[in-house]
Amino acid sequence: MTRVIGILSGKGGVGKTTATVNIGASLAFDYGNNVVAIDANTTSSSLGLYLGNHKFPVTINEVLTGKASIADAIYAHPSGLKVIPSSHGFNGVVNNKRIKSVVNSLKEFTDFILLDCPPTLGSETRAGIEAVDELIVIANPNWASLLEAKKTIEYAKQLKKKVLGLVLNQADLEPEEIDKIKKALKIDILSVIPLDDNVVKSSDKRVPVIHLYGRSRPARAYKKLMEKITGEKFPNRGIIERIIGWFD
Amino acid sequence: MDFDLFLEEMKKRVPKARKFRKISRKKDKERVESAVLDDKCTEIPQTSDGRRAYK
């Protein structure tokens, strides 16, 4: 059965797209799944850019406005991840409610569909939440970001969506601080991704950090996240990585 | 012009949406299937780091 997972945050700029590309590329490359990542942020897109390109002849915007078929908006990343990007040009406001139809059309051929949702709880985001079954919420360890994340979680729960948990991004926290956040938001912490230059470098190079710098701290944190999402051990871990893991 | 008016104006400029093309037709369905499962779709160009990571 296809799992449809939304990546949300509430506040913008916390690392949703970075998380989406790492999760999507890993589900496809490391776990061998058929995965489609959709940029549900049709007004301020970045998913395609993070994966290596900014010019796509056909995007989700054309699909949602009925100008193109879904088949023409699917692109292949070398990890095996399939991507439906959104447009970088401003062609008007798109009706995102149809995104659920796009998701439903793809279910037959996929193991995972990831929706990189926009920030805030505006109409674009609400359409995204309605299209997914499960959610991962990303937040930075500051109260502005955590409060917005809390609102997103509450809204998703109202819609009876399964919230898998919170990913604390750009976070170097002590265990008691993590526990404090967990209690305040009443949610599982799936992973804590440390603030690390390798994430910035991998974004600049348009390659997910989990594959470009596989032994870096953020990559190891993403691998733990992958284990939580899939419920399976991260595959192909080398001996050096396992030894490093013992000291984590 | 305030932002709400700006958005309203932009909405008016969007051409009337055509009927959403659900992939109910067999031909469309086959194209989506081959794009997702058989890589029959455009590849995203990669940097040399990208090619190294997935060689």
Which residues of chain A are within 8 Å of residue B22 when distances are taken between CB atoms?
101, 105
| Candidates 3.30.930.10, 1.10.10.10, 3.40.50.300, 3.20.20.10; CATH matching A3-246 | 3.40.50.300
Chain center to CA of B2: 31
Nearest beta carbon to residue B20 from set A34, A77, A98: A98
Averaged pLDDT for residues A137-146: 94
Chain B residues close to A82, C-beta within 8 Å: 35-36, 41
Q: Please determine, for the modelled complex, whether the ipTM score is greater than 0.95.
A: no
Q: What is the pLDDT of residues A69-113, one digit of tens each?
A: 899 999 999 999 999 999 877 666 677 788 998 999 999 999 999
- To the question of pTM greater than 0.80 for the whole model, the response is yes
pLDDT at A238 over 70: no
Arithmetic mean of pLDDT, A28-40:
95
Instruction: Count CB pairs under 8 A between chains A and B.
Output: 112
- Asked if the Cβ–Cβ distance from B32 to A74 is below 8 Å, we say yes
Q: Where are the domains of chain A?
A: 3-246
Residues of chain B with pLDDT under 50: none
C-beta atoms of A94 and B14 within 8 A: yes
Q: Give me chain A's average pLDDT, please.
A: 90
Residues in B closer than 8 angstroms to A79, CB to CB, are 54
